[in-house]
Chain A
């Protein structure tokens, strides 16, 4: 699997900061992104699940 930076979103402000990084992707369930990181995707994954 390609390396990625993983960031946990704790609030809206930090989530927006994470999402603004180059090649940042939101990950919630992971159904497609986990597969893609195994093949081609290099990204910063920001977990937004659980944010109100």
Chain B
């Protein structure tokens, strides 16, 4: 019995089966109540390309892109930290640009090309940014890390395209990725463990700016 309980008591098992258990409770005869008739919610059809594969969903238009990923498609790498665009844990890359997926409605991204943390590694080989985060110990608890890494990958492409930031002294010149530039450009991703120095070091390394 002890073995059996231990085998069941994984978080993944709990997530998979708790929904069914709730359903069973609700439908037991002792709890039968005449249910109020609620009209079916209108849904919107959404086609998404996620990490190179197509997905088709019919969603309540209120579904955020983050919930579509996590709750409907099982991409639980993107995290829900604050669910109000403050923390950046839900950062994903949409059509090459980073966004807070908790502030985006899934229906607004019909036809879009999405990259999540699950899509960065190729054939089991870590993306250079993932490898650098590991090498530089750019995390502690890891909760913000998927967002940090997606954000950092998009940061580099923004920088390559010459985008200035608030920390850029002269916006007419292509700025070097100094610590101040990286800190400013990563300011949408908060790390409660305060792994910032190592995160900056990891990004500098991948950017080819060397370590400091």
Contacts from A to B (Cβ < 8 Å): 1, 3-6, 8, 27, 29-31, 34-35, 37-38, 45, 47, 49
Contact = CB atoms under 8 A, between A and B. Distances in A.
Interface of B: 44, 61-62, 64, 84-85, 99-100, 102-105, 107-108, 110
A6 to B, nearest CB: 4
A3 B105 CA distance: 13
B85 A35 contact: yes
27 contacts: A1-B62, A3-B62, A4-B62, A6-B44, A6-B61, A6-B105, A6-B107, A8-B107, A27-B105, A29-B99, A29-B103, A30-B103, A30-B105, A30-B108, A31-B85, A31-B100, A34-B64, A34-B85, A34-B102, A34-B103, A35-B85, A35-B103, A37-B62, A38-B84, A45-B105, A47-B108, A49-B108
A23 to B, nearest CB: 15
B83 to A, nearest CB: 8
A35 B85 CA distance: 8
Nearest to A28: B108
Given A27-B108, A35-B85, A49-B108, A4 B61 contact: yes
A7 to B, nearest CB: 9
Nearest to A6: B61
Contacts of B62: 1, 3-4, 37
A3 B110 CA distance: 20
Nearest to B41: A3
Contacts of B61: 4-6, 45
A27 B110 CA distance: 14
B56 to A, nearest CB: 16
Top 10 nearest A-B pairs (CB, nearest first) are A6-B61, A1-B62, A34-B103, A30-B103, A30-B104, A31-B103, A35-B84, A47-B108, A6-B107, A30-B105
